[in-house]
Amino acid sequence: MPDRKSFKKLLSSEVTCEYPSSSTWVIKSKRWEKCDQYTSDEAKDIRPSAAIAAFSVENKNDSNQIALMRVYMQMPDLSTEFDPPEERAEQATDIAPEAIFQTVQALKLFTEKNSTVTPTLLGYKVDWLGDKRDRRPLFWTLPRSERDDIRGAFEYTHKQLKELGNTPLLFGLTHLVWNPERKEVYVIGFNNNTQMGESHSWRNRAFLQ
């Protein structure tokens, strides 16, 4: 697919990562870009339309530290690029491809074990891009401390569902109800459900931020 210049606006910008410690990187140049754009029907069956690019970056506080940064970005579905923003916003999702989680977790493990034959993970970040109107799911607008409370409560709820053996078919944030007073997470929406097997066991890699 031709280069759609999806990442042009990132050139010369700064990206601050949280892991393993706070670091800010200046994007210097783009190395390559690939787009996987689908129709809206295809995106429902395959995965959200997205693009990936690799950039040469340097540490803002140490120009001698040069690194390679990969950026994954969701894109509008084919033929919807010029639809009204409020309509395109309906496509937005916080569900990233499993391959991204697997890559980050693998690099974290290699870095923690001081691997000399694989790339060192210098940092990563999950962010929500869009216009000035905040269209993020409510979860991502909450303070980090409360998000951590929700994750902890959700781990307990998920394991309870595993014992019960049933879960909503397309499990997402819309299936969760958070009780901040009791710090408990409840699951709703079982009109389409499936049995839980070993593939549904709890995995910390499901969360990046």
- Whether cis (ω within 30° of 0) applies to the bond prior to 180 is no
Contact 6/35 with Cβ under 8 angstroms? yes
Report the alpha-carbon distance of residue 28 to residue 130 in Å, rounded: 22
Report the alpha-carbon distance of residue 203 to residue 5 in Å, rounded: 35
Report the alpha-carbon distance of residue 9 to residue 51 in Å, rounded: 14
Instruction: Give the pLDDT of the chain (209 residues) as one tens digit per residue.
Output: 334 556 777 888 899 987 777 899 999 999 888 888 788 888 777 778 888 888 999 999 999 999 999 888 887 888 787 778 777 777 776 656 666 777 887 888 888 888 888 888 998 887 765 544 455 567 777 888 888 898 888 888 877 777 766 655 556 666 678 888 888 888 776 554 566 666 566 666 544 44
Report the alpha-carbon distance of residue 78 to residue 84 in Å, rounded: 14
Closest C-alpha among 131, 136, 113, 148 to residue 18: 148
Report the alpha-carbon distance of residue 142 to residue 155 in Å, rounded: 18
Contact 27/11 with Cβ under 8 angstroms? yes
Contact 62/25 with Cβ under 8 angstroms? no
**What is the percent of the chain where pLDDT is above 90?**
12
Report the alpha-carbon distance of residue 56 to residue 66 in Å, rounded: 7
- DSSP summary character for residue 83: S
The pair of structure tokens assigned to 87 is 């309509």
Q: Is the pTM of this model over 0.75?
A: no
pLDDT tens digits for 86-117?
777 777 766 566 667 778 878 888 888 888 88
- DSSP summary character for residue 91: G
Contact 69/15 with Cβ under 8 angstroms? yes
